[in-house]
Amino acid sequence: MAIFSNIYCHQDRYYSFNEDNVVVRIKTGFDYEEIRKAEMLSLMISDLAKQMKYPGKIQLDFIHDYVYRLNRSDKFVSYKRSDIIQNNGDKYLSRNINNAGLIIRNVNTEVNFEELLKFVEASINYEAYIKTNQIQYKYDGGHNQWIIYSISQDQISYIIENTDFKHTLSILSCKYYRGNNGRKSKYFYQDGIYNFITYENGFEEIVLKTNNLYQYKALENHSIIVEKPCKIYIVYSNGLHLLKDSVNCDGVYRLLEFRECSSEILNLKYWSRSSDTIPYFPDLIKYQINPKLGVTDEADTFDCG
């Protein structure tokens, strides 16, 4: 998918994560944290399938609505039918790359672990139902103009409403680390919460818990946790600072950029759109931040000076 505007010309990318009989693919535009979440999701689904003793292969495609064109979660599931017609010449999503039985797709603004695990569990339970009832389905999803195989939305609601999700709840109670590598990770997800951690004397210490995660970035002297664009936490050597004074942050639709100028000073910039239609007319907003002193000032430049 190519996006054209007066700001940039850009081509989306795909990332694929394999875990045993599970493949999770994500289509997104920039280095969003959803890529790392997709990697974590592949392990969660693999553990879910093992717990359910499901012998088949699963492919889940997550199409990231990162500019909030739809701002909703659209779900599809088929059996062995990965082909998509009229996808703007994009043939990658039509590939069944691991010869999967269950083909699950989600178009959403975020990777929602609980929602997707529940959908996978329901799909495993109702695999035979999906085989029998899948049809060609026309989907008008902004840039995603598809004719796709799936059961209907009413049938998706039916299989979800008639699943008790005991396996999903079991998986969600476990710790899943960013990068799936324990102590090298900076957060783990458990029971619907993102837990951000440091290590003191070999022990894991939680410094912050959030319900959501838009962006995460580790710099030399600071870690940046963006729960949502209007709620930015900065972790530094002796504390935690919540940035409260940013303006027009509700209109942020791309990654925020941070530059570490010293052990105490950070620069921040982001684009905020003033229109919900194309072309966008964004404002460029810049700040200089001293987290230790809790000071945030508007800046004329993103450069360190």
Q: What pLDDT sits at residue 6?
A: 30
Closest CA to 45 of 27, 25, 19: 19
pLDDT higher than threshold 80 for residue 246: no
Bridge-based pairing of strands 257-260 and 239-243 is unpaired
Residues whose CB is less than 8 angstroms from the CB of residue 230 and which lie 6 or more positions away in sequence, other chains included: 246, 249, 250
Lowest mean pLDDT among 1-10, 120-129, 250-259: 1-10
Lowest mean pLDDT among 1-15, 116-130, 249-263: 1-15
Q: What pLDDT sits at residue 170?
A: 98
Quick one: tokens of 235?
A: 């972790």
294 DSSP 8-state letter: T
Q: What pLDDT sits at residue 98?
A: 85
Closest CA to 266 of 245, 236, 238: 236
Q: What pLDDT sits at residue 81?
A: 93
* Per-residue pLDDT band at 167 (split at 50, 70, 90): very high
Which stretch, 170-179, 181-190, 245-254, has highest mean pLDDT?
170-179
Distances in Å between the alpha carbon of 277 and those of 5, 90, 133? 11, 24, 37
pLDDT higher than threshold 60 for residue 183: no
Query: Is the CB of residue 172 less than 8 Å from the CB of residue 117?
Result: yes
- Whole-angstrom Cα distance, residue 137 to residue 140? 10
Residues whose CB is less than 8 angstroms from the CB of residue 232 and which lie 6 or more positions away in sequence, other chains included: 224, 225, 226, 242, 243, 246, 256, 268
254 DSSP 8-state letter: S
pLDDT higher than threshold 80 for residue 182: no
108 DSSP 8-state letter: E
3-class DSSP string for 152-169 = CHHHHHHHHHCCCCHHHH
For the chain, the residue count is 305
- Residue 202 CB-density burial (10 A; 0-12 exposed, 13-18 middle, 19+ buried): exposed
In the predicted model, what is the mean pLDDT of residues 251-264? Answer: 87
Quick one: tokens of 179?
A: 């990068």
- Whole-angstrom Cα distance, residue 187 to residue 196? 4
Q: What pLDDT sits at residue 7?
A: 32
- Tens-place pLDDT, residues 271-303: 876 544 444 556 788 889 998 888 888 888 899
> Percentage of the chain with pLDDT > 70?
90
- Whole-angstrom Cα distance, residue 38 to residue 231? 23
In the predicted model, what is the mean pLDDT of residues 244-258? Answer: 79
- Whole-angstrom Cα distance, residue 192 to residue 189? 7
- Tens-place pLDDT, residues 3-23: 222 333 467 899 999 999 999
- Tens-place pLDDT, residues 198-207: 877 778 889 9
- Tens-place pLDDT, residues 42-73: 999 999 999 999 999 999 999 998 877 777 89
